[in-house]
């Protein structure tokens, strides 16, 4: 990009001349080479183009002259809109198209008649939170004391480095919410449909434009910045309580500790222990027989074995740590498999009524393929 200094005797040069484009930014006039605009029509662009075309057709064909006069009068009442150099006069046509597109975006039938009063949407505050481990991205807002019924148009940046505080021109719409939204609003699914899932420590910047359902007028866009929480590659933990009925049915129904991690991933168990609580009656433990933590396949693949005899058939409380258990498993049997508590005996535990709490430490790894 080349910069140039204007002559004192000539006015400012703007637009295209040959293969050069003359323009201006906050640093002054500049030139750049002409680039043919992209003709790739993505799904969001197609939706936007269709919405704008419908709005223009409605202004031209659906409105009467009196209605168009009403929109022009309302535009004069609202005054100018912000522009790069001062304000720009707001026309009734521009105001109508904006209202039409905003209402259609939040699922409200666009207006034809002029609104009785120029009500705009409003939010008094906006906060956001993101947790990569919980797969959660939420916004929370204060709508004020007497807000109009309003929908929301929500924009978001891609995951950014922790040093970024603005989204600049990286905004993309991720959701449009119908009037009377509930807060906090969960947006993880909508965000990851547009942008990659963030990792712990990355920043997401969200912008929310409230849209008044009565008029389609947008209030000021509020912006919230949040740092993604989560443990990343650090060890994760999980704890489950196991009832007496579940302990006596582990052969048929292993107790899930951690859900399946997703395609191409496996749970790597780092540590585990079982806190056993005796109630009134000891268990009858078949011999041989051990508790195990592992992955369910055609048979449970044991990552760790835990002594059952001499413990579950005793009348004391125990904290059971794992026995040494070198174990290799076929990748196909552990990929995207949950982590479960099982039993190795030929028959299940019987009679007893004690309970257990299982705690594990693990990481999620990518499987080579």
Domain limit, last residue, from 167, 201, 227? 227
Give me the pLDDT at residue 133, please.
Answer: 78
Q: Edge-to-edge strand order for the sheet containing 222-227?
A: 172-177, 150-156, 203-212, 222-227
Residues 299 and 318 in one domain: yes
The CATH code of the domain that includes 324 is 2.60.120
Residues 96 and 76 in one domain: yes
Whether the CB-CB separation of 257 and 236 falls below 8 Å is answered with no
Give me the pLDDT at residue 45, please.
Answer: 79
Domain limit, last residue, from 169, 202, 227? 227
Give me the pLDDT at residue 4, please.
Answer: 54
117 domain residue, yes or no: no
Give me the pLDDT at residue 115, please.
Answer: 81
311 domain residue, yes or no: yes
Give me the pLDDT at residue 186, please.
Answer: 92
112 domain residue, yes or no: no
200 domain residue, yes or no: yes
114 domain residue, yes or no: no
Residues 293 and 332 in one domain: yes
355 domain residue, yes or no: yes
pLDDT tens per residue across span 196-234: 998 888 889 999 989 988 888 888 888 888 888 776 655
Residues 76 and 25 in one domain: no
- Comparing CA positions, the residue from 253, 245, 290 lying closest to residue 272 is 290
Residues 304 and 361 in one domain: yes
Give me the pLDDT at residue 84, please.
Answer: 40
Low-confidence spans in the chain with pLDDT less than 50: 9, 82-86, 326
Q: Which H or E run includes 159?
A: none
Residues 164 and 101 in one domain: no
**Tally of domains within the chain:** 4
116 domain residue, yes or no: no
Residues 255 and 186 in one domain: no
Residues 211 and 306 in one domain: no
Domain limit, last residue, from 179, 199, 227? 227
213 domain residue, yes or no: yes
* pTM assigned to the model: 0.53
Give me the pLDDT at residue 85, please.
Answer: 40
pLDDT tens per residue across span 131-175: 887 788 998 887 765 556 888 899 999 998 877 778 877 889 999
Q: What is the domain extent for residue 59?
A: 43-105
CB-count burial class (<10 Å; 0-12, 13-18, 19+) for 40: exposed
Residues 168 and 269 in one domain: no
């Amino acid at each position: 990009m080349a910069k140039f200094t204007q002559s004192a005797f000539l006015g400012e040069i703007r637009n295209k001349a040959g293969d050069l484009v003359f323009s201006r930014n906050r640093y002054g006039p500049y030139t750049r080479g002409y680039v043919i605009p992209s003709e790739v029509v993505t799904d969001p662009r197609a939706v936007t183009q269709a919405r704008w075309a419908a709005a223009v057709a409605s202004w031209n064909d659906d409105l009467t002259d009196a209605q168009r006069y009403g929109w022009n009068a309302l535009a004069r009442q609202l005054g100018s809109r912000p522009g790069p150099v001062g304000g720009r006069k707001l026309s009734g046509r521009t105001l109508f198209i904006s209202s039409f597109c905003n209402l259609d975006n939040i699922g409200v039938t666009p207006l034809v008649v002029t609104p009785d009063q120029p009500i705009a949407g409003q939010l008094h505050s906006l906060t956001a939170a993101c947790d990569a481990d919980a797969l959660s991205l939420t916004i929370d807002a204060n709508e004020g004391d007497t807000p109009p019924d309003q929908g929301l148009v929500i924009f978001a940046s891609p995951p950014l480095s922790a040093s970024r505080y603005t989204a600049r021109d990286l905004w993309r719409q991720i959701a449009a919410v119908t009037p009377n939204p509930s807060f906090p609003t969960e947006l993880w699914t909508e965000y990851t449909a547009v942008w990659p899932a963030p990792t712990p420590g990355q920043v997401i910047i969200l912008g929310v434009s409230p849209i008044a359902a009565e008029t389609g007028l947008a209030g000021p866009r509020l912006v919230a910045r949040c740092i993604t929480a989560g443990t990343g590659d650090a060890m994760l933990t999980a704890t489950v309580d196991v009832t007496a009925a579940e302990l006596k049915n582990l052969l048929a129904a292993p107790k899930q500790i951690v859900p399946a991690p997703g395609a191409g991933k496996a749970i790597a168990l780092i540590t585990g222990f079982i806190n056993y609580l005796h109630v009134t009656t000891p268990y009858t433990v078949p011999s041989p027989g051990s508790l195990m933590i592992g992955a369910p396949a055609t048979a449970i693949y044991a990552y760790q074995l835990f002594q059952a005899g001499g413990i579950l058939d005793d009348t004391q409380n125990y904290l059971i740590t794992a026995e040494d258990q070198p174990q290799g498993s076929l990748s196909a049997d552990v990929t995207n498999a949950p982590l479960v508590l099982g039993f190795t005996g030929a028959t299940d535990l019987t009679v007893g009524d004690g309970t257990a709490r299982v705690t594990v430490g693990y990481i999620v790894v990518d499987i080579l393929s």
